Amino acid sequence: MIGGADDGELAARARSGDSAAYGELLETHAPVAKRTAVFLGAGADADDVVQEAFVKAYKALGGFREGAAFRPWLLRIVANETKNAVRARGRRERREHLAVPLDVVLDPADQAVSLERRTELLAAVRALPDQLRRVVTCRYLLDLDEQETAVVLGCPRGTVKSRLHRALGRLRDALPDKEVQR
């Protein structure tokens, strides 16, 4: 259950040394953690980035605030690890080339969109500056809300809103004959 009520209890048990509880948390959040790493540029290194993020999250469990949502907290660690891996790799221009699968479906209406159209949209998203691409990735490809996006990216919610507004404007300009949803 993603972001479910059980997360707080599992985190508390894990903090007390219950490795099975931490295992349950990881099993629940591993798919979105991997997608986060992939979409933020880890590419073929996504599994390694996620594994390192899980180790760091375990070590940082003592600092996890009781009552806070576990998923955004974990994804912030994954995002930071991804950023570190991409920087260390030194291949910034190639970081999403292999990472974004062509079968990403943004919403049910997009299921009818052709492969060519999705390819154009993903290329336009890839062409956005890093800060704008990251906010679009979190909001639309990972389906995080504004607050979760703010936590994952480590910026205020207002910054998420303004970057999203600028990003959508650029996408509308890049795809002028197509409608870009807000």
The candidate with the shortest Cα–Cα distance to 179, out of 81, 106, 103, is: 106
What pLDDT is stored for residue 2 in this prediction? 45
Give the chain's residues under pLDDT 70.
1-5, 90-115, 176-182
Longest dimension (CA), the chain: 56
What pLDDT is stored for residue 16 in this prediction? 85
Residues in the chain: 182
What pLDDT is stored for residue 17 in this prediction? 85
Alpha carbon distances (Å) from 176 to 120, 135, 168:
12, 21, 12
Whole-prediction pTM: 0.60
Distance CA 150, CA 106 (A): 20
Domains of the chain (ranges, CATH numbers): 6-89 (1.10.1740.10), 100-174 (1.10.10.10)
The candidate with the shortest Cα–Cα distance to 151, out of 139, 162, 140, 167, is: 139
Distance CA 84, CA 81 (A): 5
Residue corresponding to tokens 């009520």:
5
Assigned token pair, 91? 């291949």
